[in-house]
Structure 1
Amino acid sequence: MSGSSKFAVDGFTTIPALFEEPDLQEIEKQVQHRLAQPHDPMMNRVGNDLVPLRWNDPIVTRLLCRASVLGRIGSTVAADDLRWISAYISSKGASTPSLLWHQDWWCWDHSISFAPTAPQIAILCYLSDTSDRTGALRVLPGSHLRSLPIHSELPESHSAAAEQLTPDHPALSDHEGQITLNLRRGDAVAVDYRLLHGTHPNRGLSRRDALLFSFTPNWRFLPDSIRAHLAMHPALPNAAEWPTIAEWGEDLFPRYDGTPTSLQINRIAPSRT
């Protein structure tokens, strides 16, 4: 099965050695610098901290300037119109608990939530080797297209309830059918935003850092309402910055010619088969 076919069926697929070592070394320097600076505590989660990055951050530009890297991402997810939306440093401290099972999709009231193709994807690229002892990602294949028993036991992502779970809660536990992604430094995984995923605890003595890049694989085919919402993301170029990005190629970023409008956020997936 090809990578793009596996992605469509399972909701995830790995991309070995997405970044080469010279890039990784420069990215790591930037990540260390950013993590040493104060950042918004509202982005911290039990088991994972996020640092948002804008389009012109050196970490992001190293991705966006690599046509070969973008090409590998596009072919992996069978993208027809790949557009970058946002980026974060994802940092999991030493001796931290599991990150709960969750889905990143934010608009479950919209009918596109049940389309066979991913409306939005995440590319998670690791800066160190990962295992079930050092905060590796765990996924439930196919959960982007169907409900599982665990769905009824999960708190809403980013809610107060999600921050107060006991260690034996199902949202933090292993589940039948899960796959643990033991990836090496520089490897990445593409994840459908609707896929159930979480992490193992980090029982190691070192922080586990990764980069999280968000894309829409098929921007021009998304409904107007979704594009109107995503085009407002603060990581994207603002009106004053658009004239400065000609050298990048405007097709890297989403453009929406209508009036940007927010949609109602709903992170709770409905029960379905």
Structure 2
Amino acid sequence: MEHAKENVKLRQLLEDGYCIYENILDEAMLERLRETAERLAEEQTTAERALNRSTGSMIPVTKDPVFAELVAWPRALDALASLTYSDPKFYGGYVISKPPQSPPLFWHYDYPVWDHPDAFEKKPHQLFLMYYLTDTSPFNGCLRVIPGTHLYDNPLHAELEEAHSRKLLQAEDLDSPAFSMRPDEIDVAVRAGDLLIGDARLLHASHANRSDHRRTVITLWYNPDFSTFSEPLKAFYSSLKTMPPDSWPAKAKQLIEPLWTQYDGEAEPLPWNRIRPMRGSVNRK
């Protein structure tokens, strides 16, 4: 990766809240992920599918050891290193598969530590790494974002209720602001195998999947600079990790072991808080 391009990616991540690295996964890995994700999605019960009508499936990646390879995928870790994050830590992720003819995903952010005194600093505490298993477009449910909203207030912030409520998950009211089209939103269409990296504070949503095929994304959560965190913040993110079952092969466990968040101190974790305070600044810089 060329140094100039790395600077562009880092600047985009810090200023817009996301960036894209193309062709990170090879076709062989994509096929393995597709087969596994399809099987896991088909195993869901009717009740599970109804519960997550807006998001699509929310299947922990600890359901199958193939995801250990994805968590430790060398080209993805190289991408993070090119963003100056050479020692990232991982705590969980999901297979999110939107069924055919399913509604949009509601507007939300995923950052859960708004009581942290540095919640609005430019450097991210939490990143999502998204791998779409098919090419995306507005027709099949590509991502939508409002650039800069990881740092600055937007009118939509004041209109949103807490994310992931039952009402939103089941898409009960598609006329609510959480499902609205926004004048400053942009579509983020990617190709299968690309890596989309984003700040957890960024307002994002997705279009409805109007196609006749699943639109699946695997979302992994990393702390890019875990070693620099305060002890309460380390304690918080370490408490979120979802460990794999004992049935995982030793090789898969060993692959992911160095990447887990780990805190062995005695500090109390910061409280869970997904209610974003208004910063009082709407100017992007």
Matched residues in 2 for 1:170 and 1:249: separation? 39
Shift of the 246–177 alpha-carbon distance from structure 1 to 2, 3 Å rule, reads closer
How much does 1:19 deviate?
Answer: 0.6
Superposed CA deviations along residues 117-175 of structure 1, whole A, max 9, x for unmatched, are 11000011100111111110000100000110011111111224434653232211221
1:106 paired residue among 88, 104, 112: 112
**Secondary structure of 1:61's partner?**
helix
Matched, 1:31 2:37: yes
Could you say which residue in structure 2 is the equivalent of 1:46? Answer: 54
**Secondary structure of 2:193's partner?**
coil
Superposed CA deviations along residues 100-133 of structure 1, whole A, max 9, x for unmatched, are 1100001112213111111000011100111111
Q: RMSD across aligned C-alpha pairs, in angstroms?
A: 2.6
**Letter of the 2:65 counterpart:** P
1:96 paired residue among 91, 102, 116: 102
1:145 paired residue among 134, 151, 158: 151
Gaps of 5+ in 2: 1-6
**Letter of the 1:207 counterpart:** R
How much does 1:255 deviate?
Answer: 1.8
Superposed CA deviations along residues 67-102 of structure 1, whole A, max 9, x for unmatched, are 233112332x43142111111101111111111110
Identity %: 29
Could you say which residue in structure 2 is the equivalent of 1:58? Answer: 65
TM-score (norm 2): 0.85
**Secondary structure of 1:166's partner?**
coil
1:115-134 matches, within 5 Å, as 115-134=121-140
Matched residues in 2 for 1:62 and 1:251: separation? 13
TM-score (norm 1): 0.89
**Letter of the 1:200 counterpart:** H
Could you say which residue in structure 1 is the equivalent of 2:188? Answer: 181
Could you say which residue in structure 1 is the equivalent of 2:25? Answer: 19
**Secondary structure of 1:101's partner?**
strand
1:232 paired residue among 219, 233, 239: 239
Matched residues in 2 for 1:173 and 1:89: separation? 25
Shift of the 45–256 alpha-carbon distance from structure 1 to 2, 3 Å rule, reads farther
**Secondary structure of 1:134's partner?**
coil
Moved over 4 A (4+): 243-247
**Secondary structure of 2:119's partner?**
helix
Gaps of 5+ in 1: none
Could you say which residue in structure 2 is the equivalent of 1:156? Answer: 162
Query: How many residues in Structure 1 have an aligned counterpart in Structure 2?
Result: 269
**Secondary structure of 2:107's partner?**
coil
How much does 1:271 deviate?
Answer: 1.2
| Residue pair 2:106, 2:179 contacting (<8 A) in 1 also | yes
Could you say which residue in structure 2 is the equivalent of 1:256? Answer: 263
| Residue pair 2:68, 2:252 contacting (<8 A) in 1 also | no
Matched residues in 1 for 2:144 and 2:107: separation? 9
Shift of the 261–245 alpha-carbon distance from structure 1 to 2, 3 Å rule, reads farther
Shift of the 260–46 alpha-carbon distance from structure 1 to 2, 3 Å rule, reads farther
Matched residues in 1 for 2:256 and 2:171: separation? 44
Matched, 1:207 2:214: yes
**Letter of the 2:78 counterpart:** G
**Letter of the 1:101 counterpart:** W
Range with greater deviation from structure 2 (135-144 or 165-174): 165-174
Shift of the 247–58 alpha-carbon distance from structure 1 to 2, 3 Å rule, reads closer
Could you say which residue in structure 2 is the equivalent of 1:9? Answer: 15
Superposed CA deviations along residues 217-268 of structure 1, whole A, max 9, x for unmatched, are 00111121111121123423699x9x98884375422221214744322111
| Residue pair 2:94, 2:218 contacting (<8 A) in 1 also | yes
| Residue pair 1:138, 1:198 contacting (<8 A) in 2 also | yes
Matched residues in 2 for 1:96 and 1:223: separation? 41
